[in-house]
Amino acid sequence: MRIRTIGLSALALTSAFALAGCGTINDAPADSADAAETKEVDTILFDYPFTALPVYSAVVKYAQERADELGVKLELTNDDMDLTKQVTNLTTYLSRDVDAVVSFPADPASLESIAGQYMDSGKFWVSYANPLETQDALLGLNAYASGEALGTHAGEWITEQLGGEGKVLIIEDTSMTFSQQRTQGMMDGLAAAAPDAEIVAQQAGITPEQGLSITTAVVAQYPDLNVVLTAAGDAAQGAYQALTTAGRDAMDPNTYVGGLDGNAFGLQRMQEGAFFRAEVSVSAKDIGYAIIDLPLALADGSGEDYETPITLLTADTDNLSDYITEFGG
C-alpha cells in the first residue's frame, strides 16, 4: 500500500514545502502593503495538556531542536493531563517574559478569555489543533479526516480479510470537540467501508494503560474480537499488548489494531509485520518545527494558518523507519 497524504489544502502543501525545503513557515512578500508590524519573538511557550502521552516528548524534542537552531528560548507548561492546571499555568505565564504561546486548548471555552489577555498584552497566540475565536493563527490538524482515514483503512481490511464481518472494539476519546471529530471520522470511515462489521464495545481511553485495561476486559467477554481502533495511538499500544498477553499470536493474519497519532511501539510492531496494522499520524518534526516557525513568521508579519499534513502509515510505508526515529524508537 502506498503512503496516502490525507486532506491537504493548498496552504498545507505550500507550508509543508517550506518546512521541508528551508525549515520555515511560508513567507509572505516582505513589502506586502498589509504586512503586520515587525515584533521581536525571543521566548515561545508551548502548552500541551497531555504531557503524559509519548507523542508529547517526540514533538518537544524537535521544537527544542528548532529553537536552539534559531536562537529562541522554548518554555513548556506541565499541565499533567489536568485541564484546570492548563488554565492555571497559562494564567501564570501571562505575567512572565514570553513573546508567543502555542497552545492546545483542551477546553476552548475556558481559554478564549486568556488568549485575549495574551494578545492584548502584545503576545502572539497560536492555537494548536483546536481553534479559538481569539487567536493570531492556527497550527491546524484535520481531526475528522484523520479518523476517517483510519476507519476506512480498517473497514477495507475487514472486507478483504474477514469477508466484511469483523468484531470491533472502539476506544474513543470524546473529551473535547477535536477528539470527538476524530472519533466520529473513525466511525464513519469504518461504517462506509465495512457496513456489516459489528462494534461489540465502545469505551473511552487515550493512554497505553487505559488501552490495556479496556481491551483486556473486552477480549475476555469477546474472545473472537479481531479489530481494535483507537482515537489515540498510545491507547492502541495498550490494546496490542492486551491481545498478545491474552495469547493472540503477534503475526495473526486475522487481527487488526490501529490508532491515531504516532506511537513508536506500534510503528515498530508494524515494521515487524505484526497485527498492529495502521497509524494515521503527523510528522513530529514538522509539528515541532512549526511550533517555533509560526510565531516567528507572525513576528515579521508573514505568518498565516498552517494545516499539518497527516499520513496513513502501514507496514508498506517506504519511510516508516523515519517515523519510528521521530517518535523515539
| Cβ-Cβ contacts under 8 Å for 160 (sequence gap 6 or more) | none
C-alpha cell at 59: 514533538
17 pLDDT above the threshold of 60: no
**Within this chain, do residues 155 and 269 fall inside the same structural domain, yes or no?**
yes
Among 58, 71, 124, which Cα is nearest to 267's?
58
pLDDT at 29: 36
How far apart, in Å, are the Cα atoms of 279 and each of 67, 95, 125?
A: 28, 40, 30
C-alpha cell at 266: 506500534
Among 310, 283, 303, 296, which Cα is nearest to 61's?
283
What span, in angstroms and rounded, lies between the C-alpha atoms of 67 and 328?
19
**Within this chain, do residues 224 and 303 fall inside the same structural domain, yes or no?**
no
pLDDT at 37: 55
**Within this chain, do residues 211 and 152 fall inside the same structural domain, yes or no?**
yes
**Within this chain, do residues 109 and 221 fall inside the same structural domain, yes or no?**
no
179 pLDDT above the threshold of 70: yes
152 pLDDT above the threshold of 80: yes
The domain that holds 251 is classified in CATH as 3.40.50.2300
In a domain, 163, yes or no: yes
Last residue of a domain, one of 281, 297, 319: 281
Q: Residue 149 — pLDDT band, cuts 50, 70, 90?
A: very high
The residues with which 280 forms a beta bridge, in sequence order, are 260, 312
C-alpha cell at 195: 457496513
pLDDT digits (tens, 9 = 90+) for 258-300: 999 889 999 999 999 999 999 999 999 999 999 999 999 999 9
In a domain, 325, yes or no: no
Arithmetic mean of pLDDT, 128-151 = 95
In a domain, 84, yes or no: yes
Looking from the CA of 297 toward its CB, the CA atoms found within 13 Å total: 26
Position with higher pLDDT, 240 vs 5 = 240
Q: To which H or E segment does residue 103 belong?
A: strand 100-103
Last residue of a domain, one of 265, 281, 297: 281
Q: Residue 127 — pLDDT band, cuts 50, 70, 90?
A: very high
What span, in angstroms and rounded, lies between the C-alpha atoms of 87 and 101?
13
Mean model confidence pLDDT for the chain: 88
236: domain range?
Answer: 143-281
**Cα-to-chain-centroid distance, residue 28:** 27
**Cα-to-chain-centroid distance, residue 169:** 21
In a domain, 315, yes or no: no
Report helix, strand or coil for 168.
strand
| Cβ-Cβ contacts under 8 Å for 20 (sequence gap 6 or more) | none
**Within this chain, do residues 119 and 232 fall inside the same structural domain, yes or no?**
no
**Within this chain, do residues 218 and 298 fall inside the same structural domain, yes or no?**
no
21 pLDDT above the threshold of 80: no
14 pLDDT above the threshold of 60: no
Arithmetic mean of pLDDT, 168-184 = 91
Provide the residue count of the chain: 329
Q: Which of 38-52, 159-173, 201-215, 310-324 has the weakest average pLDDT?
A: 38-52
pLDDT at 78: 92
In a domain, 109, yes or no: yes
Arithmetic mean of pLDDT, 141-168 = 96
Q: Residue 235 — pLDDT band, cuts 50, 70, 90?
A: very high
In a domain, 322, yes or no: no
**Within this chain, do residues 77 and 205 fall inside the same structural domain, yes or no?**
no
Q: How many CB atoms lie within 10 A of CB 7?
A: 16
229 pLDDT above the threshold of 90: yes
2 pLDDT above the threshold of 80: no
Q: Residue 328 — pLDDT band, cuts 50, 70, 90?
A: confident
Contact 240, 227 (CB under 8 A): no
In a domain, 249, yes or no: yes
**Within this chain, do residues 59 and 105 fall inside the same structural domain, yes or no?**
yes
Contact 279, 267 (CB under 8 A): yes
C-alpha cell at 104: 492546545
Contact 12, 309 (CB under 8 A): yes
Q: Tally the domains of the chain.
A: 2
pTM of the prediction?
Answer: 0.81
**Within this chain, do residues 135 and 156 fall inside the same structural domain, yes or no?**
no
How far apart, in Å, are the Cα atoms of 179 and each of 194, 228, 231?
A: 22, 17, 7
In a domain, 313, yes or no: no
**Within this chain, do residues 150 and 125 fall inside the same structural domain, yes or no?**
no
**Within this chain, do residues 115 and 162 fall inside the same structural domain, yes or no?**
no
Among 114, 89, 76, 46, which Cα is nearest to 291's?
46
**Within this chain, do residues 99 and 130 fall inside the same structural domain, yes or no?**
yes
The residues with which 124 forms a beta bridge, in sequence order, are 100
